[in-house]
Amino acid sequence: MLSGRRLDLLDPSPLDIEIEDIAHGLARVARWNGQTTGAHAFSVAQHSVVVEEIVAHIQPDVEPRWRLAALLHDASEYVIGDMISPFKAALGVDYRLFEERLENAIHVRFGLPAKTPPAVKKLIKQADRACAFFEATQLAGFARAEALDFFGAPPAGYDLHIEPQAPAEAQAHYLRRFEVLSEAAGYRSHDQAFDTE
């Protein structure tokens, strides 16, 4: 990683995970394998910020730690990339276990439970699908009816106009949201998370 960390992908340690590496990587990973319109790809970093926002729209009283979990919902993609769901399914269980181990280490690194509670996971998935609906219709060439078939309708009262950000902008925005949500959740600054003094 650019931070100098060496991450064992088969046995990831929370000690080797840095938010700057995550933000940098996600800002350079394209959603839809880059098959989108616009001057810039729509990054996983920007997508993650939107998903966190949609989670708060759906459930305004959601705890800050679960908003942080929403921001980090695709964080593992900073090292494994963004694979489309059918391809993940084709790879089978081993891929899912690999992804899960990395997600668990990321959560532990930033003060979250290793496993997200099922109700929170469902909320994040709902927000993820809503974001995908907007991405599909605005960036990926889907007709509205087709997107509704694939992703369902976005939550009532929520609208989004997507302007894909340049990588540096998406990275900075992701880091700002991380800092705000970490503080709101009452966690120590990420650079102090493993102090032993």
Tell me, what CATH number does 143's domain have? 1.10.3210.10
Total structural domains in the chain? 1
**Residue 193 has what pLDDT?**
47
- Residue 5 is assigned to a structural domain of this protein: no
**Residue 8 has what pLDDT?**
82
- Residue 77 is assigned to a structural domain of this protein: yes
Ranges of residues in the chain with a pLDDT under 70 are: 83-93, 188-197
- Residue 195 is assigned to a structural domain of this protein: no
**Residue 192 has what pLDDT?**
45
- Residue 95 is assigned to a structural domain of this protein: yes
3-state secondary structure the chain: CCCCCCCCCCCCCHHHCCHHHHHHHHCCCEHHHHCCCCCCCCEHHHHHHHHHHHHHHHCCCCCHHHHHHHHCCCCCHHHHCCCCHHHHHHHCHHHHHHHHHHHHHHHHHCCCCCCCCHHHHHHHHHHHHHHHHHHHHHCCCCCHHHHHHHHCCCCCCCCCCCCCCCHHHHHHHHHHHHHHHHHHCCCCCHHHCCCCC
Residue 76: domain span: 14-186
**Residue 89 has what pLDDT?**
67
**Residue 187 has what pLDDT?**
82
pTM: 0.90
- Residue 197 is assigned to a structural domain of this protein: no
**Residue 86 has what pLDDT?**
66
- Residue 7 is assigned to a structural domain of this protein: no
- Residue 4 is assigned to a structural domain of this protein: no
**Residue 92 has what pLDDT?**
63
- Residue 126 is assigned to a structural domain of this protein: yes
